[in-house]
Amino acid sequence: MARAAVVGAGMTKFGVHDTPLQELFGEAAFDAVDDAGVEMRDLDAIYFGNAMSGQAENDTHLGPKVASHIGAAGLPVQRFEDACATSANAFKNAVQAVEGGTHDAVLVGGVERCTPETGKDTPEMTRIFASASHRQYEQPAGLTFPGVFALLTKRHMHEYGTTEEQLASVAVKNHSHGRLNPRAHFGKETTVEEVLDGPVVADPFRLMDCCPFSDGASAVVVVSDDLADSYDAPVDVTGIGHATDVTPIGDKATPHVTQAARDAASEAYEQAGITADDVDFAEVHDCFTGAEVMASEAIGLVPDGEGGTYAAEGRTSLGGDRPINPSGGLKAKGHPIGATGTAQVVELTEQLRGTVGDRQVEGADTAAAHNLGGDAATTVVSVMEARS
Ligand code: COA
């Protein structure tokens, strides 16, 4: 039984944009609304994600700005901030709102600009992102996000023998998928050798193990289950789990396990009445190659400790038995923080409709999206299924 349905999806190309935030969001929002075949006046609310624009662009209170720009002034706009899991949390709340009868149709999405177009360079943006880490125990130690995920990944390597070559194969795979995605930040392939030759960012991560700073926006139209059949191509939302884990990372009992993802996945699968074996592909939060390895295990697509092996053997590639990140993931598609969660939902929607072209996961009818925030402390896992 569906909790809600996505009936329209849109996103900008991820990359570098000199467009103001409301205009960037407007591009994705107009696409989503056109795709759904509705008018702005048919919507009841906007659930909107943005994480960093106050610090990055001195631009806050974006709700009425985006609503005015897209011709929807008057609608209530609810703003969400949950670090990198920002728009997945907006999506969860939109699903709950249509399921509970508060609204019939909600536009949900997110926008972020993270490149030097904001006026902030890499060190400054890295410091701004680090505001999502623990104020007392991580920030004073100089721990930024490459460092956070490097520590978690080092523990994974220690526990399971995961190698730098296996991590590099995640980057190779996601760049090869991203080359098939016209909206991806990076359109070029890479090799294990090129990844391993790159400059070290935070051991064991080199340049190509990291997602980039990106600008972009994404949006979907969510409607209640009983209205879904009046739209052309609804895709069902059958489960959403949302969990947190202890922070700072020094307090995590098993840092390589990302417990919030396990809890969120098990909640989402239970709601959907499925197990991980039923998931035909997943979009996971690969902010760093090691993060994809841990996520693929946490949501049950890959046995514990074998995330690296599966990637190196091509089993998580398109055409493999456990495809992961057919969009190119954060690594190649890009990571405009507040837009990432609903961009995953856009990919699931289009894949489950069978409309993505060369990167299509053949025969997929059930998929999961895993969106993580902060020092692995927040995770939202969504399950979507093709409407039969
Ligand atoms: N993957 C692949 N290529 C990348 C890249 C990445 N992550 N980041 C930058 N590049 C490319 C650029 O396109 C550029 O290529 P060009 O010379 O052909 O134009 C080149 O590498 C240098 O780019 P530059 O912007 O100078 O890189 P940088 O040194 O300022 O930043 C990182 C590189 C990896 C440090 C930065 O992208 C980073 O910190 N990423 C992680 C972001 C993050 O923490 N997000 C939150 C996750 S929770």
State residue 304's pLDDT score.
98
Contact 208 CB / ligand 1 (< 6 Å): yes
Assess whether pLDDT exceeds 90 at residue 122. yes
Q: Which two tokens mark 370?
A: 């895993």
Report the residue among 207, 209, 371 best suited for mutation to probe ligand 1: largest number of ligand atoms under 8 A from its CB.
207
14-19 mean pLDDT: 98
Assess whether pLDDT exceeds 90 at residue 144. yes
Q: How crowded is residue 187: how many other Cβ atoms within 10 Å of its Cβ?
A: 15
Residue 160 in domain:
no
- 207 CA closest ligand 1 atom index: 34
In percent, the amount of the chain with pLDDT more than 90 equals 99
Among 177, 185, 285, 335, the one annotated catalytic = 335
Contact 207 CB / ligand 1 (< 6 Å): yes
Q: Which two tokens mark 104?
A: 């019939």
With bands split at pLDDT 50, 70 and 90, how would you rate the model's confidence at 86? very high
84 is catalytic: yes
With bands split at pLDDT 50, 70 and 90, how would you rate the model's confidence at 265? very high
CA distance 276 to 270: 10
Assess whether pLDDT exceeds 90 at residue 311. yes
With bands split at pLDDT 50, 70 and 90, how would you rate the model's confidence at 24? very high
70-89 mean pLDDT: 98
Tell me the CATH number at 330. Answer: 3.40.47.10
- Expressed as residue numbers, the domain containing 330 is 4-119+212-386
CA of 158 to the centre of ligand 1 (A): 27
> Does residue 58 sit in helix, strand or coil?
coil
Q: Are 33 and 8 in contact (CB under 8 A)?
A: yes
With bands split at pLDDT 50, 70 and 90, how would you rate the model's confidence at 101? very high
CA distance 328 to 330: 7
210 is catalytic: no
- Indicate if the alpha-carbon torsion angle 92, 94, 95, 100 is positive or negative: positive
List phi, psi (to 5°) of 70. -95, 10
State residue 260's pLDDT score.
97
Note the pLDDT tens digit of each residue in 208-257. Answer: 999 999 999 999 999 999 999 999 999 999 999 999 999 999 999 999 99
**How high does pLDDT run on average in the chain?**
97
Residue 235 in domain:
yes
Assess whether pLDDT exceeds 90 at residue 388. no
Which neighbouring-strand residues pair with 237? 4, 384
Domain count within the chain: 1
Assess whether pLDDT exceeds 90 at residue 1. no
352-373 mean pLDDT: 97
Residue 175 in domain:
no
State residue 259's pLDDT score.
96
Residue 156 in domain:
no
Residue 362 in domain:
yes
Contact 131 CB / ligand 1 (< 6 Å): no
State residue 303's pLDDT score.
98
- 129 CA closest ligand 1 atom index: 46
Prior bond of 123 cis (ω within 30°): no
Contact 150 CB / ligand 1 (< 6 Å): no
298-312 mean pLDDT: 98
CA of 280 to the centre of ligand 1 (A): 31
- 210 CA closest ligand 1 atom index: 7
What dihedral do alpha carbons 231, 105, 340, 131 form, nearest 10°?
A: 180
Among 84, 210, 211, 287, the one annotated catalytic = 84
Q: Are 261 and 299 in contact (CB under 8 A)?
A: yes
pTM: predicted TM-score of the whole model, two decimal places: 0.98
Residue 366 in domain:
yes
Assess whether pLDDT exceeds 90 at residue 57. yes
